[in-house]
Structure formats: C-alpha cells, structure tokens
Structure 1
C-alpha cells in the first residue's frame, strides 16, 4: 500500500494570473505582505509557492525583500 501524497493547494484567486515578469507595484506589495504574514503564521515556502503560483525561489526573494527572517531547513513551524 503506497503512502498517500500531500494534497496540492489551489492558487488563491487574488494571485491567479499575476505571476508575470512585470507585476504592478500593487501586485508586488500584496505578494510581499501575503508571504510575510503567512510565513510568520507557520506556512512553509512550498505552501506559499503553491498558493501564489510562484516558484519557491520567488517566494524566498519576496520574504527577503519583506525583511522576514527565514526558518532553517527542517525547522519546526513557529507557533505565532
């Protein structure tokens, strides 16, 4: 019996179609705020990438630009 896979998260409607090379300043600001807020609440970079239809590298850059200190690899999720 194979191990069940993790469910894939759906892209949030506010980020659908915004993964373009030239985002508006408002789109970029919303992405930075969303990633910073959700990462602080315990979401992983992988989850954020799925929710925003960005690559994990793009999410890392967004967190860096937002000034968020990232957790170490394999670190337990923070509790708020």
Structure 2
C-alpha cells in the first residue's frame, strides 16, 4: 500500500493572479510580510509557495528580500525535537 500523498494547498484569494513581473508595491509588501511571518511560524517553503501561487524559488527570493534567515533543510534532529517538548 503506497504512502498517501500530502494535500496540495489552494492559493489564498489575496495572492491569486498577483504572480506577475509587474507587481504593485502594495502587492509586493503584502507578499513579503506574509512570507516572512509564515516562515517564522514554521510554514515550509512549499506551503508558502502553494498559498501564494508562486514557486519555491520566488519564496526564497522574497525571504532574502525581507531579510529573513532561512532554516536548514529537513526536519529538526531527533535530539532537538525532544528538547522542544
């Protein structure tokens, strides 16, 4: 029996159709704020990309532009996960 896939998130209404080269400054500011806040609360690049209707690369660039330090790849180490509990 195969492992069930992860559900794909639908883009949020405020970000539908805004993934263009010519974003307004307000759209860009809203994206940067949402991505920075989402990343800091633990959302993955993939989740943020799906919610904003963008690619993971666009999300990485937005985090860099917002000055947010990205987390390392993968889940936290088992010892780190135990200390959080």
> Shorter-normalised TM-score: what interval?
over 0.9
Task: Give unmatched runs, 5+ long, in structure 2.
Answer: 77-83
Q: 1:17 to 1:5 in 2, by over 3 A?
A: same
The number of residues matched between the two structures is 77
- Residue 19 in 1 paired to residue 19 in 2? yes
- What TM-score, normalized to structure 2? 0.87
Question: SS where residue 71 of structure 1 aligns?
Answer: coil
Question: SS where residue 59 of structure 2 aligns?
Answer: helix
Higher gyration radius (CA): 2
- What TM-score, normalized to structure 1? 0.92
| Divergent runs of 4+, >4 A | none
Question: SS where residue 30 of structure 2 aligns?
Answer: helix
